[in-house]
Amino acid sequence: MKKVFSRPKSLKENFIYHYCPGCGHSIAHRLVAEVIDELGIRGITIGVPPAGCAVLAYYYIDVDMIEAQHGRGPALATGIKRVLPDRIVFSYQGDGDLAAIGTAESLHAANRGENITVFFINNAVYGMTGGQMAPTTILGQKTTTSAPGRDITLDGYPIKMSEILCLLPGVKYVERCAVNSPANIVKTKKAIKKAFQYQIDGVGFSMIEILSQCPTNWKMSSIDSCKWIDEVMVKEYPLGVLKDVTAPEKKKGK
């Protein structure tokens, strides 16, 4: 019989995801693992998981992993990559991790043009700590710390980290994707692959932002969460390639 679906080799065997049913993290993990398999980089990849719901990513993705403290991923990844420039180094971060407490690290690793790949899981809340408002929370979105809905006068605007990073010359490739539908999942996988390929080719800093459903803290069914990404989130965070330096100029000695 022809095998049409199996576990990527870069996902560990015999685990049960601790993620909530319908969570986007598990899809993103699988995509990263599939791409690592397809590019044949499992033996040379090092991951940096965050503080956040993905804190246990090393339970699932079967490559070397070095845990970062909350927000410090891109700085930690910088240290790894500078010592081991022939390895493929990625950090995997939530929006609290990357766009709140770790804003400085994200911005500066990007600005230095570190040849690393950042996966930015944007679910518009602090998932792990129980669904508080994040800088990425949509205007009007109700969270535990924005009960009446996010209000510009008190809480400012949803921060668009991908657009901000695009302004930096050190940043070579940024794409915003989503994991809420089969079509979007296919596109996300392509983007992940391209980002890793750019790192392999020595192009420089790339980031893939992934809009990711958090049914638990959005207090929605899994299906409604997928719809909410299309109907609400995408309006604030449009999908697509935001920056791509198509004529890659190889960095020497990095």
Partner 1 sequence: MSKRIGMEIALAAAEVAALCRPDVIAAYPITPNTHIPEHLAEIVAEGHLDCEYLPVESEHSALSACAGASAVGARVFTATSSQGLLYMGEIVPIIPAMRLPIVMALGNRALSGPINIWNDHSDVMAVRDMGWICLFAANGQETIDMIVQAFKIGEDHRVMLPVLVNLDGFQLTHVVESMIMPDQEEVDKFLPPRKPYATVHPDNVVSMGTLGLPEIYTEAKKAEDEALINSKKVILEVWKEWEKTFGRKYEPIESYKTKDADVIMLTVGSMYETAAIAVDQLHKEGFKAGLLNMKLFRPFPADELKAAVKGARVLIVTDRAVMCGGAQAPVCAEVKSVLYDEPVRPAIVNEIIGLGGRDVRVDDFIKMFKKAATADKVKPERAYEIYGVRSS
CA dist list (Å): 50 to 99, 108, 118, 162, 223: 12, 17, 11, 18, 27
Q: What is the dihedral of CA 85, 89, 93, 99, to 10 degrees?
A: 30
Residue 155, binding choice from ligand SF4, partner 1, ligand TPP, none, Cβ under 5 to 8 Å by partner class: partner 1
Shortest separation between residue 72's beta carbon and partner 1, angstroms? 10
Nearer of residues 85 and 157 to ligand TPP, judged by Cβ: 157
Shortest separation between residue 107's beta carbon and partner 1, angstroms? 13
Shortest separation between residue 127's beta carbon and ligand TPP, angstroms? 3
Interface pattern 96-125 for ligand SF4 (x via CB under 6 A): ---------------------------x--
168: which 2 tokens?
């930096």
138 binds ligand TPP per the rule CB under 6 A: no
Q: Which residue has the tokens 């989130």?
A: 233
Nearer of residues 61 and 121 to ligand TPP, judged by Cβ: 121
**Widest Cα–Cα separation across the chain:** 61
* CA dist., res. 40 & res. 233, Å (int): 34
- The only residue of 34, 97, 105, 175 in contact with ligand TPP, by rule CB under 6 A: 97
CA dist list (Å): 113 to 108, 128, 246: 8, 30, 16
Q: Whose CA is closest to 102, among 129, 66, 126? A: 126
214 binds ligand SF4 per the rule CB under 6 A: yes
- The only residue of 47, 73, 94, 158 in contact with ligand TPP, by rule CB under 6 A: 94
Q: What is the dihedral of CA 91, 81, 58, 174, to 10 degrees?
A: 20
- The only residue of 8, 19, 71, 198 in contact with ligand SF4, by rule CB under 6 A: 19
Residue 135, binding choice from ligand TPP, ligand SF4, partner 1, none, Cβ under 5 to 8 Å by partner class: partner 1
Nearer of residues 157 and 238 to partner 1, judged by Cβ: 157
Nearer of residues 47 and 131 to ligand SF4, judged by Cβ: 131
* CA dist., res. 56 & res. 20, Å (int): 13
73: which 2 tokens?
């991923």
Query: Could you list the residues that contact ligand SF4 (CB under 6 A)?
Result: 19-20, 23, 25, 53, 123, 127-128, 214-217
